[in-house]
A and B are shown apart, each in its own frame.
Chain A
Amino acid sequence: MSRNWLYVLFWIFVSFLTLFPIYWLFVISVKPAVELFSTPDLILRDFYWQNYVDVLNDRTLRSYMVNSLVISTGNAVLCTLLGFMACYALSRFDMGGKESIFFWTITNRMAPPAVFLLPLFLLLTQVYKIGDFSLLDTRIGMILVYCTFNLPFAIWTLRPTIDGIPKELDEAAHVDGASPWRVIWEVVFPLARPGLAVTLILTWVFAWNEYLLAATLTNFNARTLTTGLSEYVTTTGTEWGIMATISVFTLIPALIVFGMVQRHIVAGLTFGAVKG
């Protein structure tokens, strides 16, 4: 009995180490700039919300937030839908080489993202453009670019779900005269909903958290919150309070989402780690 309490004490200590850096982020975000350089104080005494007001009133940062929301939501919906269609095809049809295709999709996720920077930049500026319109610095461009890591993830997490839905259900609906299209969207899709929800949420978090591609493939119009954050770190002087506040704003949606899928997240993250 007493040894159990030793474990609890040990885990309180570990949790402290895990949580303290996040707590410190919050502490910095609610301190006025003048107090930052006095002796650091572990305990929060009063809250200074001006940083939050400043960030919310900043038109540039507000547009970055909207961009982040539009891009990650658009990308998550697109990847989940396309991933569902692809998994249905891989699961129900007898296409030649389908297992190779399945494996090939994941190799797209294995390449280090830094290697994608120059190729994608060149492609978006030199090749994928119609007249003056290029995909560089557009929301739709970022939604498509994020598919390189989120679409393989969606396919790999959805495959077991779709494989797990009995084929007899499709066939029964088929015999009853439903068109293949209706079978997909009115029989299989509703049954796959739990898996689809988890995939949607995890792809959303990955897109929301992405920094490297957004930093190189956007200038202003499609800048995201994560790149906005790095703009506040300059060699001439960093606005620490604002930086901490933007970090809090970036962190909160991920935390909420984490609460929603906490139970399913272990499997997803173990795989998701293949590309941070």
Chain B
Amino acid sequence: MQSNRLGWLLLAPTLLILAMFGVFPFIYVLFVSFHQWNPFAVNPEMAFNWAANYRRVVFDAQFIASLGVTAAFVFFAVVSELILGYALAQAFMKDFPGKAFFRTIHTLPLIMAPIIVGSVWKLMTTPSIGIIPHLLDNWFGYDLNIGQSAGAAFVLTVIMDIWHWTPLVTLSLIAALVSLPPDPFEQAQIDGAGRWQIFWHITLPMIRPAILATVFIRLMDALRTVDEVLMLTGGGPGSATRYVGVHIFKEVFPRTNYGYGSAISVVVLYVTIVVCWLLYVGLIAPRNKKG
């Protein structure tokens, strides 16, 4: 074996950069979050103020509301994507002409920048420019205006997320379905099991690990949605689509109260870690142990 010194030397730049830009920011922000610090105020000095910033976070109605709408957004988006993605993956299991071509097209939204997805959907849905409000008005007499209707704005952000990320669910479920052994299915058919029974008792349990892993990735991802919503609705109308990331970008960052902003960043990071940990412990870990 070669000397480990070369190994550490090769690893050093990576460790240095990740420490400088990944870890140290959080040690620093944790430190700042316990201080009163506003460089542009009358008293610009940093002053230790215990957990005052955190007390403010807990009673910040806007922040708590943004956690609520984020949870609703994540729930509706991920559930729809899972159902749609499974249906589409099943539709890929048959042989038909042009399969590879259709799969390529289906993958396209995944490489698009979130900000471009937001821009595309803004152009589709802005009244008088977009085609969607026009068609809805012509066919159903429905007046879609995401600048005014909170419900419509929320639903559209969910639809946009579905358009952007369902392909990811489809691709990972295709991978799972392709790898299934054919025997249990043939046996079940011989035994006269119905389609629904086969799905419920054979397919679902067998692809459960893949489903859970996909849900995990999608949940973490949906939690951090910012760019496309910022572009489509700007978090509005009111605070209808002000998801946590949007809240930080629009409300916390532009303000100069660094102590309070740091406290919110720490809390959001903490909530994210806890949610992911609970999901991991609740969904993925027990399955791995069993089988």
Q: Which residues of A contact B (CB under 8 A)?
A: 3-5, 7-8, 10-12, 14-15, 17-19, 21-22, 24-25, 28, 36-37, 39-40, 42, 82-83, 85-86, 88-90, 92-95, 101, 105, 108, 110-123, 127-128, 144-145, 147-148, 151-152, 155, 174, 180, 184, 205, 208-212, 215-216, 226, 229-230, 233, 240, 243-244, 247, 250-251, 254-255, 257-258, 262, 265-266, 269-270, 273-276
Known contacts A118-B29, A145-B21, A240-B126; 19 additional CB pairs below 8 A are: A8-B97, A21-B120, A24-B120, A85-B14, A88-B10, A95-B8, A110-B276, A117-B265, A118-B252, A122-B25, A122-B29, A123-B24, A144-B21, A147-B18, A209-B112, A215-B249, A243-B119, A266-B171, A270-B217
CA distance A255 to B104 in the complex (A): 11
Q: Does B86 contact A (CB under 8 A)?
A: no
CB distance from A43 to the nearest CB of B (A): 11
Q: Is the CB–CB distance between B109 and A254 below 8 Å?
A: no
Let me know if A247 and B116 touch, CB within 8 A: yes
Q: Is the interface of B mostly helix, strand, loop or mixed?
A: helix
Interface of A is mostly: helix
**Contact between chains at B102 and A15 (CB < 8 Å):** yes
Find the B residue at minimum CB distance from A269. Answer: B110
* A42/B258 in contact, CB under 8 A: no
Set of chain A residues within 8 Å of B276, measured between Cβ atoms: 110
A215 shortest CB reach to chain B, Å: 8
Assess A25 versus B20: contact at CB under 8 Å? Given A114-B249, A209-B115.
no
Q: Is the pair B113, A208 in contact by a Cβ cutoff of 8 Å?
A: yes
B49 at the interface (CB under 8 A from A): no
Knowing A233-B122, A274-B220, A276-B224, say if A85 contacts B10 (CB, 8 Å): yes
Q: A11-B102, A243-B119, A255-B111 are in contact. Are A85 and B25 (CB under 8 A)?
A: no
Interface residues of B in 12-37 (CB under 8 A from A): 13-15, 17-18, 20-26, 28-29, 32
**Contact between A105 and B248, CB atoms less than 8 A apart:** no
Question: Could you say which residues of chain A place their CB within 8 Å of the CB of B6?
Answer: 89, 93, 180
- Hey, which bits of chain B sit against chain A, CB under 8 A? 1-2, 4, 6-8, 10-11, 13-15, 17-18, 20-26, 28-29, 32, 88, 91, 94-98, 102, 104-116, 119-124, 126, 128-131, 134, 163, 165, 167-168, 171-172, 175, 217-218, 220-221, 223-227, 230-231, 244-245, 248-249, 252-253, 258, 261-262, 265, 268-269, 272, 276
* Given contact pairs A21-B124, A147-B18, A205-B111, A269 touches B168 in the complex (Cβ within 8 A): yes
B110 neighbours in A (Cβ, 8 Å) = 265, 269, 273
- Complex Cα–Cα for A111 and B266 (A): 11
A269 touches B111 (CB 8 A): yes
Name the 10 nearest CB pairs between A and B, nearest first: A93-B7, A209-B113, A119-B25, A114-B245, A112-B224, A108-B22, A89-B10, A119-B29, A7-B96, A11-B102
From B109, B123, B262, contact of A28 by CB (8 A): B123
Name the residue on A nearest B266 (C-beta): A115
| Residue contact B123 to A37, C-beta cutoff 8 Å | no
Verify B231–A233 contact, CB threshold 8 A.
Answer: yes
Interface centre among B107, B112, B128, by most chain A C-beta atoms within 10 angstroms, is B112
Q: Which residues of chain B are within 8 angstroms of A122 by Cβ–Cβ distance? A: 25, 28-29, 32, 258, 262
Q: Is the CB of B107 within 8 A of A212?
A: no
**What is the number of contacts between chain A and chain B, taking CB atoms within 8 Å?**
268
Known: A112-B245, A211-B113, A251-B112. A24 touches B131 (CB 8 A): yes
Complex interface: chain B residues within 8 A of A144 (CB): 17, 20-21
Inside 8 A of A115's CB, which chain B residues have their CB?
248, 265, 268-269, 272
Complex contacts, A7 vs chain B, CB 8 Å = 91, 94, 96
- Which chain A residues lie closer than 8 Å to B272 at the CB level? 111-112, 115
| Cα(A155)–Cα(B10), bound, Å | 13
Per a CB cutoff under 8 Å, which of B17, B131, B231, B268 touches A230? B231
Q: Which residue on A lies nearest to B122, using beta carbons?
A: A233
- Which residues in B have their C-beta under 8 angstroms from that of A39? 134
A8:B96 contact, CB within 8 angstroms? yes
The residue among B4, B115, B224, B262 with the most chain A CB atoms within 10 A of its own CB is B115
Known: A10-B91, A148-B22, A275-B224. A229 touches B105 (CB 8 A): no
Query: 13 A-B Cβ contacts within 8 A?
Result: A7-B91, A11-B102, A40-B134, A89-B8, A105-B18, A113-B226, A114-B244, A117-B249, A117-B265, A119-B26, A233-B119, A265-B111, A275-B224
Contact of B106 with A270 in the complex, beta carbons under 8 Å:
no
Q: Which residues of A contact B18 (CB under 8 A)?
A: 105, 108, 147-148, 151-152
> How far, in whole Å, are A25 and B167 apart by their CA atoms in the complex?
20
Residues of A within 8 A of B175 (CB): 266
Whole-angstrom distance between the Cβ of B20 and the nearest chain A Cβ: 7
Q: Is the CB of A14 within 8 A of B108?
A: no
Taking the nearest CB of chain A, how far is it from the CB of B155, in angstroms?
A: 16
Which B residue's beta carbon lies closest to that of A270?
B172
In the complex, what distance in Å separates the CA atom of A95 from the CA atom of B184? Answer: 45
Min C-beta distance of A262 to chain B, whole Å: 6
Residues from chain B with a CB closer than 8 A to the CB of A265 are 107, 110-111
